[in-house]
Amino acid sequence: MESIQSIKQRFEIIGNDVKLNRALEKSIQVAPTDISVLVTGESGVGKESIPKIIHSLSHRKHAKYIAVNCGAIPEGTIDSELFGHEKGAFTGATSTRSGYFEVADGGTIFLDEVGELPLTTQVRLLRVLENGEFLKVGSSQTQKTDVRIVAATNVNMFEAIKKEKFREDLYYRLSTVEINIPPLRERKDDIHLLFRKFASDFSQKYKMPTIRLSNEAVQLLLKYRWPGNIRQLRNIAEQISVLEESRAITATTFTSYIPHIGTTNLPAVVGSEKKESDFSTEREILYKVLFDMKGDLNDLKKLTLELLNNNDSEKVQEENENLIRKIYGQKDNEIEPETKSGIEVLHLPESNIEEPVQLNVVEDKYHFAEEIEEEETLSLQEKEIELIKKSLDRNKGKRKAAATELGISERTLYRKIKQYDL
């Protein structure tokens, strides 16, 4: 069995991170078997190296190795690419074609971005994994294949299964052994090593002196989160090597090549835009509570006036107390009435309201009517339209984000936008 160090030299893998070494160790251990492997990790971490290692150390190393990018093949043709088709199976099928599973018989197939496979193709792939059988498109004759499958994805598979975009049974078939490649931001000690390797490679490629980073630039290199991982690091090393005349790279120069290094990509920095958004949301919730309270008080006034017009003072008091209990959720023994100069005062617990609510029960219905001002009834529909507009503006028209903020489904938001012609 080959050592991890020899594998690194053979496949030009740079780094000494513990998680990276564990991933390589698992690759070496699983290679002699025929079980399927799922390689997981973010985009750009170098997942494509693992299936090459597994194939080269297996008994299939002298057979074909085919890498297929599932996300780059159109949904209408991917079945034909993987499993082949018969002549006349569909428009344009002028001859019989062998698919990758037929061509790679006895070898290894690497399915990159396997999470992008259509559900119909997933069913066909599951059959291959279970019994090594497949059908060409347009054919009824079953064919056999002996292929080792190594798949890779940057998708959260459990989320995809939950959203019914990926079959759960296929996931467990593919992930007999799962190998995770850590993101670059978790390999702090390897970042500078990789940058120096890329800088050396590009100096030889473009026949120019090797670039070198100052101490301040190295600190920025290590602090940056590298969302594009090794692929992004390599691209930036190439850009600096080609574009900069000075071979000594300062922190200022290095910063100009890294997007948003002073804002969103540094974990310690919180964007001011998010704070403003949170404040606006809380303010709107407060407005809604106040408007609801205003509507309840308007209902209370109208009910009182209507009962007074019917000369039923005792019922006025009873209805007032019932409505107060409904609004504030109080029990009978929690309301203590007190009469002051013809005014009934109901004292509520301090946790609900700071001042007592005064309810006029003066028998002179005309005097009572003069003190009540007619208030404009709040339109719930107008408020709903206003909240939807504000949320869409704040999220720059992104319906999914707006629906999440409003606490409704994206389909409901779409229906309301159409209903209100927004």
Tokens 């109208």 — which residue? 302
SS3 60: coil
Residue 166: CB atoms within 10 Å: 23
d(CA 413, CA 405): 11
Report CA torsion sign: 277, 279, 282, 283: negative
- CATH code for the domain defined by 4-182: 3.40.50.300
Right CATH for 185-255 from 1.10.8.60, 3.100.10.10, 1.10.3090.10, 3.40.309.10: 1.10.8.60
CATH topology for the 380-420 domain: Arc Repressor Mutant, subunit A (1.10.10)
Same fold, 4-182 and 185-255: no
d(CA 34, CA 68): 19
pTM across the whole model: 0.62
Regions of the chain where pLDDT drops below 50: 262-276, 334-335, 339-346, 348-377
* Residue 210 DSSP code: P
Measuring CA to CA, which residue among 68, 48, 22 is closest to residue 231? 48
> Kind of pairing, strands 148-153 and 108-112?
parallel
